[in-house]
Amino acid sequence: MPRMGGIEMARAVRASRPKMPILFLSGDIDRNPEARKLGNACLNKPYREPELADRLRDLGAIGG
């Protein structure tokens, strides 16, 4: 994202829509504890499509 990173985006979303689920996708999520605090779920890269679908289903973002 050219203007802000994922953490900044999550903060902005939380401020305006506190109940919106946030899923962080990152190659280094373990080194960023703030992502775990702000997000409802985290998924480390690389991931497979079934893992992503499971996380999205858990968050209620897709039907299952």
Task: Indicate whether this model's pTM tops 0.85.
Answer: no
* Sign, Cα dihedral of 29, 33, 34, 38: positive
Q: Is the predicted pLDDT of residue 61 greater than 80, yes or no? A: no
Task: Report the relative pairing of strands 41-44 and 23-26 from DSSP bridges.
Answer: parallel
Amino acid at 40: N
Query: Residue 27's pLDDT is what?
Result: 77
Q: How confident is the prediction for the chain on average, in pLDDT? A: 85
Count of alpha carbons within 13 angstroms of residue 21, beta-carbon side: 12
Tokens representing 58? 């858990």
- Reduced DSSP (H G I as helix, E B as strand, rest coil) percent helix, strand, coil of the chain, to 5: 45, 10, 40
